[in-house]
Chain A
Amino acid sequence: DTGVSQDPRHKITKRGQNVTFRCDPISEHNRLYWYRQTLGQGPEFLTYFQNEAQLEKSRLLSDRFSAERPKGSFSTLEIQRTEQGDSAMYLCASSPTSGSSSEQYFGPGTRLTVT
């Protein structure tokens, strides 16, 4: 399967701990996006990479959040000093630069629960 993969699928952590999620996009896709989805809502944009460059960050991304895409391939999203309000599904998506670049393909998500 050559779709977007995310790891882990589920993460339970205690408040105040740090967590890191990984996303492996579709191999030929240059663009990578992170979204967050809470219950009853659609996904909300967090940040966007074009290759290794982080080009946009949402105001939702407080300074406890950091994302990287060091070699323009996989990406990581780290949350420091987690809070209960961070509990959500974290989704990664990728898209090609050419063609209809707005078509984004999502991974299965990482479900974070902060206790």
Chain B
Amino acid sequence: TQLLEQSPQFLSIQEGENLTVYCNSSSVFSSLQWYRQEPGEGPVLLVTVVTGGEVKKLKRLTFQFGDARKDSSLHITAAQPGDTGLYLCAGVTTDSWGKLQFGAGTQVVVTP
């Protein structure tokens, strides 16, 4: 059982549409990271959020950390085919050495 639940598991949209991916848990995290992974490659770090209620923007991507530091969301505006990939959220609990607990991922497919 994964500590972090991601939804949806799969998302297929057309270029130009918006999308939101959710990451939820009953645990509190000291920090939470979002990664994107291409087939056959390792995850690439997109952002780290550490403060409850924090919002970070990375071009067309907006990341939000919940006030209670138990959940997070990733919103993509005007998606492009290059946004296609597996989006993973990963959290660090307060009692760990920094090891990441991952969600199962959301596969996003953006078609032209």
Contacts and interface: CB of A to CB of B under 8 A. Distances in A.
A82 B43 CA distance: 25
A1 to B, nearest CB: 13
A: contact size bracket = 20 to 34
Interface of B: 2, 4, 30-31, 33, 35, 40-45, 48, 50, 88, 90, 92, 97-105
B33 A104 contact: yes
Nearest to B31: A102
Taking each of B33, B35, B41, B104, which has the highest tally of chain A beta carbons within 10 Å of its own beta carbon? Answer: B41
Interface in A76-115: 91, 93, 95, 100-109, 111
A42 B98 contact: no
Nearest first, the 10 closest Cβ-Cβ pairs linking A and B are: A42-B102, A106-B42, A102-B92, A45-B99, A102-B31, A102-B98, A109-B42, A106-B43, A108-B42, A43-B102
